[in-house]
Amino acid sequence: MNRRVRVAPELTGQAGLVLAAAVEIAAEPIAQTTDSAAEEPQDQELDPQLWRDQAVLRAAEKAWAAGDMVTVGALATGYDALLLYVPAEIGGALALQPIGNAERRHRGAFSTPAVYADSLARRAIPELPADGSVPTVVDPACGAGNLLRAALARLLSLGVPPEQAIWALHGVDADPVAASLARSALAADLSLAGRPTEPAELENRIVAGDGLSGASPNQAAAGAGLNWHEAFPAVLDVEGAEPEPVTGWRGGFDVVVANPPWERLKVHARDWGGAIPVGLRDHRAGTARALRDAGRHPLTGAGELNAYLPFVETCWRLLSPQGRAALLVPAGIASDRSAARLLEALCNAGSLSRLHLIEPRGPIFAGVSGRVGVAFVELHGGPTSSRGPASAEVAVGLAGPDQPPGERAWQLPAHLLRVLNPNTATAPLFASATDATIVTEAHRRTPVLLRREPSTGVPSSDPWQLRLVTPLHMTRDARHFRSAPGEGLVPLWEAKHCAMLDPNGGTTTAPRYWVPMEVVQERYGDLCQRGWLAGYRNVSTTVAPRTLLPTPLPVVAVGNSLPLISAERLPLLLAAMSTLPVDYLLRQKHAGANVNFFKLEQVPVPPPEAYDRPSPWGEGTINDWVLERFARSVVWSDDLAGLAAELRTAGVEPVPDLPSEEVVAARAELDAAHAILLGFDRVELVHLMGTFTALRRQEELRHGAWLSAERVLRSYDRLKAV
């Protein structure tokens, strides 16, 4: 069959090979499976994705047959890009038609860029064993083999002959097309290195299968998956080796490298732009059930699962007692509550060697936002190691995989997790050893906002009588939303409407929706009886000028980007939350874009009784002094009458329409006072102010000077002199 062929211009040379293979496949009759052998095969339409998969494999076979090892490797490297297309007849020509990112995400096929793959290989294999042996290497989510190829290159660079390196490599992937390409690409690399290799020689080492499920010596299979000890008995069924306590595997790999899939196993339509791949929801639900039921992932197999966490746990359990792992995962492994049990277990076992968080200046993976940070996790020793608790090197804010951590590096001992984040044991995110010292001492001096029992989550210390209230959900509660104002309706306020202590200071003042007042009263209950609400913007990052942005609110509907808070002495709490020292302490716990409740609860804040002492700065108590300046810091409007009345009851008169210089002066005094209440000396205050780099740049562009720092330090000096 003769066809005109058109290549997608944004793809590289392998697209032409794939199209040529697709033309060949399209010209062949396709047999339809029948129930009766007597029936004649019928021609049928070939599924576009199956067509593409067959074309990719055919292209690799043809390149291999032609001895074109470079093209074989290029097809493997570009496999994730090819999943964005399917062959299709368009205008009488065969072309690769774009189908979006869903299929690639479904398969978890995001090739690790070469610079990251090489860094992982160097981290996992810093040197060869002293006894001259060749380490066994595995990637449990190997895709088309990028990391295994980097590990092979690392072994060869350290002097391992290719004749020995071939037997060191092991890989698993749920996508059989990717596993086949990995075999071909590794065989090509070995052949180019001087050891002629056929892909078939790697069939028992690079295998297709689900690395997260399957049976182990200690668990029956909870779904179709890979039985690791049967697939690799020479590594995981070693006679006389101590069994791994959860799986029962005996032995372990010397090296584990992985960039596992990052997808949540619970399928949300919003995550897929409404275009959920056919069968994905059932497949992911089955995978989640298998993970929960099998018992192989006691640290990560609960809650709303993200696939990368069970993979990290699997990588740890695959390690030999002296093995090393280097993993590329989302930065949330440090601060997400879902990762906390695993992180604490790794620290307590002394297995976490390094945790380096990268803040890239652009996207790392095609189709993934550049705002998504990544982490290098390095492990030393599996669960059978006898290392015991040790310190891990942590570095936050590195620009790339090969940036030396330098002054950003600090040591995280296991016990510090519960000191700095007592409720969750997530990792703090200090940018330097200086931050580690300052914040650790602040935690020792000052209680957190709300302390919970680690085992039950029940509050054990709640000095503020804090309530954190989830507002209206923009998706689940959308049935209550109206697109125009009307009788009995109140506007729906979102984070974008607000700024610091200013309910109307955001990027827009126009609400998108209105909600019946009875819905607001039913949802918020006695919060409405106060006559005003309070919340904070939960969509914020540590690179923004400010991260914690609290604000008073009128009694309106509130969207989930603006979580509500309540406390007996709410104006006083808002005053504390608005300060730079408290914002600084929150930033040490925050990664990503959402300031979750569990992060806010674990911030050190002076308890209410600290404000009941006589004020050294004026008449009355510190409470009186703080509320006077809070009243001057709020940007007042008529709809905050409820807050104004509450302040008057406390003996404080609101001061609307203050000149802006008086507002910022009052806020600077609040900043300085809370630095003193939190026990920061002047050197520490200078340091913490210096961490607000975006705020500094913003003010220097506007005013030619960093006015906030000047005002706060002047106020601090004046208050300390009293």
Looking up residue 591, the CATH number of its domain turns out to be 3.90.220.10
More confident residue, 191 or 99: 191
Q: Tell me the pLDDT band of 367, cut-offs 50, 70 and 90.
A: low
pLDDT for 294 equals: 59
Whether pLDDT at 271 is above 60:
no
Q: Which of 587, 491, 570 is nearest to 535 (CA)?
A: 570
Give CA–CA dist 232/200, Å, rounded: 16
pLDDT digits (tens, 9 = 90+) for 459-473: 999 999 999 998 999
pLDDT of 102 reads 67
Question: Which residues, 6 or more positions from 135, have their beta carbon under 8 angstroms from its beta carbon?
Answer: 125, 128, 129, 155, 168, 253, 254, 255, 323
Alpha carbon distance 461, 185 (integer Å): 58
Residue at a domain's end among 387, 420, 445 = 445
Domain finish residue from 402, 426, 445? 445
Residue pLDDT, tens place only, 371-421 = 567 899 999 999 988 777 778 999 998 989 989 999 999 999 999 999 999
Co-location of 467 and 394 in the same domain = no
Token readout for 655 is 């001061």
Q: What percent of the chain has pLDDT over 70?
A: 87
Q: Give residue 97's pLDDT.
A: 82
Residue 109 domain flag: no
Dist. CA 398–CA 358, nearest whole Å: 5
Please report, for the domain that includes residue 316, its CATH number: 3.40.50
Is position 36 within any domain?
yes
- Distances from the Cα of 416 to the Cα of 107, 348, 539, angstroms: 38, 11, 27
Judge whether 125 and 154 are in contact, CB under 8 Å.
yes
Question: Mean pLDDT over residues 154-161, rounded?
Answer: 98
- Residue 92, pLDDT > 90, answer no
Single out the residue in 418, 445, 472 at which a domain terminates.
Answer: 445
Q: 602, 621, 324: which is closest to 450 by C-alpha?
A: 602
Residues 619 and 692 reside in one and the same domain: yes
Same domain? For 622 and 553 the reply is yes
Q: Examine residue 459 and state whether it is found in any structural domain, yes or no.
A: yes
Sign of dihedral through CA atoms 519, 525, 529, 533? negative
The answer on 656 and 634 residing in a single domain is yes
Tokens matching residue 91: 């205008």
Domain that holds residue 350: 331-445
The pLDDT of residue 454 is: 86
Confidence at residue 439, expressed as pLDDT on a 0 to 100 scale: 97
| Res 41 pLDDT > 70 | no
Q: What residue type is 280 in one-letter code?
A: L
Lowest mean pLDDT among 289-293, 358-362, 519-523, 566-570: 289-293
Q: Are 674 and 680 in contact (CB under 8 A)?
A: no
Render pLDDT for 649-694 as a digit per residue (tens, 0 to 9). Answer: 999 999 999 999 999 999 999 999 999 999 999 999 999 999 999 9
Please report the pLDDT score of residue 371 as a whole number.
Answer: 59
In a domain, 646, yes or no: yes
430 and 466 both lie in a single domain: no
The number of C-alpha atoms within 13 Å of 160 and in the hemisphere containing its C-beta is: 26
Distance CA 534, CA 100 (A): 41
Q: Return mean pLDDT, the chain.
A: 88
525: in domain:
yes
Quote the pLDDT of residue 225.
83
* In-domain check, residue 406: yes
pLDDT in tens, 643-660: 999 999 999 999 999 999
Q: Looking at the structure, do residues 289 and 316 belong to the same domain, yes or no?
A: yes
Question: Which of 388, 387, 390, 451 lies closest to 422, judged by CA?
Answer: 451
Task: Report the DSSP beta bridge partners of residue 354.
Answer: 378, 393
Residues 67 and 180 grouped into a single domain: no
Instruction: Tell me the pLDDT tens digit for each residue of 320-330.
Output: 999 999 999 98
pLDDT value of position 21: 81
- Which tops the pLDDT comparison, 29 or 534? 534
Tell me, yes or no, whether 492 and 579 share the same domain: yes
pLDDT in tens, 170-229: 999 999 999 999 999 999 999 999 999 999 999 999 999 999 888 899 987 656 689 999
Based on the domain organization, do 614 and 480 belong to the same domain?
Answer: yes
Q: Is residue 26 part of a domain?
A: yes
Q: Is the pLDDT of residue 10 over 60?
A: no
Instruction: Report the number of distinct structural domains present in the chain.
Output: 4
Rounded Cα distance, 713 and 670, in Å? 12
| Same domain, yes or no: 90 and 159 | no
Asked if residue 242 and residue 136 are part of one domain, the reply reads yes
Q: Is the pLDDT of residue 356 over 90?
A: yes
Give the type of residue at 98.
P
- pLDDT category at 48 given cuts 50, 70, 90 is confident
CA pair distance 346, 331, nearest whole angstrom: 16
pLDDT of amino acid 139: 98
Same domain, 341 and 257: no
Query: Is 54 a domain residue?
Result: yes
